[in-house]
Amino acid sequence: MINVTRPSMPDFEEYVKEISGIWENHWLTNMGPKHDEFAAKLKEYLNVDHVELMVNGHMAIEMTLQALNLQGEVITTPFTFASTTHAIVRNSLTPVFCDINSDDYTIDVSKIENLITDRTCAILPVHVYGNICDVEGIDRIAKRHGLKVVYDACHAFGETYKGVGVGNFGDASCFSFHATKVFNTIEGGAVVFKSARIGEELYSLKNFGIRGETEVTGVGANAKMNELCAAMGICNLRHNSEEVAKRKIIAKRYRERLSEISGIYLNCEQENVEYNYGYFPIRIDFKEFGESREEIHDRLLQNGIRARRYFYPLTNTFECFHKRYDVSETPVALHMSKQILTLPIYADLELEDVDRIIDIILSK
């Protein structure tokens, strides 16, 4: 079985060496030496001002919204993983869904201002498949209306835009280090931000509100990254550039063989973006290609290949929201959610397997 992704892992001996000190000091969690070492290395790697490690990417988003003390409406996109929308709702905020661009699948900046009301407090855009949002346009709108900007940057770890690390845009950016991501810590996440005050709030929120041995200044949760995950992060960070280079070769093969196929549209390649090649989405136009996304998905699965309908369904169609949102207000996102299929891509995927996947797609 070829899965849509497979976690990158260091050599076993390398990880054992990295965690050996944990067996000596018995420090397993609560911001230990590996936690602090990883945070420092991550800050340098991403070239950002501040980093706060989290237990996962979801809590990174949820606690960042809480740390900003927001109230009211947050403009976001339904073309994302459930976590993005749920983090808004779990903060007692109201998501207001903006449609996406048809070329790069990021939030359509031209539609944001029409959605702003006197209750709007923030914008939560999502970098998608490594494509970077129109950060300049979003910044202008946010400044004009006095809004906070928190980026869901889970698809954009390690990327740069015009030579600037992607985590430097907005008030904060949130990353996931889940096992399915380009870079993983087994499970984990991080928030990068500019204001030290946000860091103070995040530290308190992720540690029960505890600021000292006898000082509890707020009501917090438990969202700390443990030492074993931090150690995995230290190991994987050493090899991340190499892993991305391998993924780039795979993406190139997909492009070489699929770029001229009528009815199959490939992910755009934005100017000034250094990609991490975390995903390889294709968009399948039934009328042009002669088969639907579902037919290709099922044929791949029958041949032992798991592609993913991602993102599908849209978050504004989830049953848990009881039809509260009108999906017709985001028609581009709805259209794309029914056509996009992400193909397997990971560092160890053999090119012969890539060719087999392509052959199966084209064997209609």
User: How does pLDDT run across 238-283, given as a tens digit for each residue?
Assistant: 999 999 999 999 999 999 999 999 999 999 999 999 999 999 999 9
| H/E stretch holding 243 | helix 227-258
The structure tokens listed for 71 are 């109230």
pLDDT of residue 220: 95
> Which CATH number describes the domain made up of 12-235?
3.40.640.10
DSSP character at residue 46: H
- What is residue 212's predicted lDDT score, i.e. its pLDDT? 83
What ranges do the domains of the chain cover?
Answer: 12-235, 240-362
E-strand stretches of 112-188 = 120-124, 148-152, 160-161, 164-165, 172-176
Residues contacting 258, CB < 8 A, separation 6+: 264, 266, 282, 358, 361
Amino acid at 266: L
Helix (H, G, I), strand (E, B) or coil at 215: strand
In the predicted model, is pLDDT for residue 211 greater than 90? no
- pLDDT tops 90 at residue 210: yes
Q: What is the pTM of this model?
A: 0.97
For 186-200, what is each residue's pLDDT tens digit?
Answer: 999 999 999 999 999
For position 100, what pLDDT does the model report? 98
Q: In the CATH hierarchy, which fold is given to the domain comprising 240-362?
A: Aspartate Aminotransferase, domain 1 (3.90.1150)
Residue 44 CB contacts under 8 Å (≥ 6 apart), including other chains: none
